[in-house]
Amino acid sequence: MITATNVSRWYGQVIGVNDINCEIGPGITALLGMNGAGKTTLIRLITGQLRPTTGDLRVFGLEPFANPDVYRRMGYCPEIDNFYEHYTGRDFVRYLARLDGMSASVGNARTDEVIDMVGMSERANRKIAGYSKGMRQRIKLAQAMLHNPDLILLDEPLNGLDPVGRREFMDLLGGLADQGKAILVSSHILFEVEQMTRSLLLLHRGRLLATGDLGVIRSLIDTHPHQIRIETDEPRRAAALLAELPNIVSMKFDRSGDAVQLEVREPAAFYDALAAAVLEKGLTIRGFSSPDNNLESVFKYLVEA
């Protein structure tokens, strides 16, 4: 749905994004990066608010800048917290429904529908000026989903939502992704992004550091062996058995004495060997986890590199 080829965007002498190459298809994709990494610039390029300085960006095979054909199939929830404050939430969404080309009656019905989807039915007739941050966020989400778009771009959509709202919102996005829609979510909240998707696009200082599945990316980070923590009643025996494996880099015992922490290369091969050790050597394991096989660690390793 989105194809970027050598896309760069300069603001005078400052570079916003630098030589971005990527493809984004159906499903949820997380756009990650620190402040100033170029996330918003990339979203503005995709939503056709900006033109690339160099390179080629296509959305549904079309140039997005000021292109109504693209906007017909795209929904955008911006990061900004600005509205027509004197409007009610319902009027705001209804107005945008009309701009989406819906007739008054269809617009009204669809407005009610999306307002209900974001859980704002009870409060939609109040003026936006009196809305809390979370309510504003919900109204922004509602307007992004109005015209049932194939592609939805969400810039920091979880900001201001309470935990229940976040959960509901993530479920909603999951449902939309299951319908085959492409959803690009920019966020700083790695833990929650991780619950939404394993597919990511990582920007750093305007450059695309990584793109693809989190697990695949993690396995490719050789400079940081995977950390695995095995909880067992006989940690020293476990260590002796596992030390024979060629892909163990280091091991240490927990202070509590009931776990061993390993640094491992080729984790898939290690897990096979671990299974064999459990079955053949009678090793008892109460549990194991991989503390750095998560988005935060991947993010940290890539950015630090």
Partner 1 sequence: MEGAIFMQAVRENLRFRRVIPWLFLGGVVVLGFAMNWETFQPGADKESQYAAVSSIFVFHILALISAILTSTILNQEVENKTIVYLLTRPVPRWKLLFFRYLACSLVVAALASINAVFASAGVYHGLSGNSFLIKDIAALTVGAFAYGAFFMLIGLLFNRAMIVCLLFAFGWETAVPNMPGQMSYLSINTYLQAIAQHPSTGSNKGLAALSAALGENSISTSTGYITMIVFIVVLVVFGAGWFTHFEFLPREDAE
Partner 2 sequence: MASPIADLTYRNYDGPLEPPINRWWAIAKLSMKLSTKKKGFWAWSTLSAFWYIILLIFFYFTETVVSNVGAVGQKASPINNLIWKDQFLNAFGESQLFLFILALLMGAGTIANDNRAKALLVYLSKPCSKLDYVIGKWLGIFVPMTIVTAVPALIFYMYCLMSYRSAGFWTQDPWLIVRLLGMILIPGTLYSSITLAISSMFQQGRLAGGVFAGVYFISYFITLAMEGAYVSMSMGGSNPPGIVKGLFYCSVDGLQAAMAKIILHTNGSPKLPIPGGAKFQVPEPSTFIFVPAFFGVCALSLLIAWSQIRAVEVVR
Q: How far is the CB of 47 from partner 1 (least distance, A)?
A: 5
60 binds partner 1 (CB under 8 A): no
Smallest separation (angstroms) from partner 1 to the CB of 179: 20
Given partner 1, partner 2, none, residue 47, with its beta carbon under 5 to 8 Å by kind, binds: partner 1
Q: Find the helix or strand (DSSP H, E) in which 260 lies.
A: strand 259-264
| 76 counts as binding partner 1 under rule CB under 8 A | yes
| Shortest distance (Å) from residue 138 CB to partner 1 | 15
With binding defined as CB under 8 A, does residue 300 bind partner 2? no
Q: Which of 73, 98, 127, 300 binds partner 2 (CB under 8 A)?
A: 127
- Residue 13 or residue 256: which is nearer to partner 1 going by CB? 13
- Is residue 129 at the binding interface for partner 2, with CB under 8 A as the rule? yes
Class of residue 295 by CB neighbours under 10 A (exposed 0-12, middle 13-18, buried 19+): buried
Here the tokens at position 221 are 């980070």
* Residue whose structure tokens are 């949820």: 28
Task: Output the six-digit token pair for 3.
Answer: 């194809």
Site residue total, partner 2 (CB under 8 A): 3
Residues 189, 158: contact at Cβ < 8 Å?
yes
Sign of CA dihedral 210, 170, 291, 231: negative
Report the relative pairing of strands 74-77 and 151-155 from DSSP bridges: parallel
Q: Does position 120 bind partner 1 by CB under 8 A?
A: no
Three-state SS for 263? strand
Phi/psi for 223 (5° steps) reads: -70, -20
b/e per residue, 4-36, with b = 16+ CB within 10 A? beebbbeeeeebbbbebebebeebbbbbbbeee
Site track for partner 2 across 131-160, x = CB under 8 A? ------------------------------
Q: Work out whether 68 is an interface residue with partner 1 (CB under 8 A).
A: yes
Nearer to partner 2, 69 or 85 (CB): 85
Cα separation values, 167 from 103, 161, 193, Å: 33, 9, 11
Closest CB to partner 1 among residues 85, 162: 85
Considering only the stretches 23-31, 123-131, 139-147, 288-296, report the one whose residues sit in contact with partner 2 under the rule CB under 8 A: 123-131
**Where in 181-220 is the site for partner 1 (CB under 8 A)?**
none
Binding interface with partner 1 (CB under 8 A): 44, 47-51, 66, 68-69, 71-72, 74, 76, 78, 80, 82-84, 86, 95-96, 98-101, 143, 147
Binding interface with partner 2 (CB under 8 A): 127, 129-130
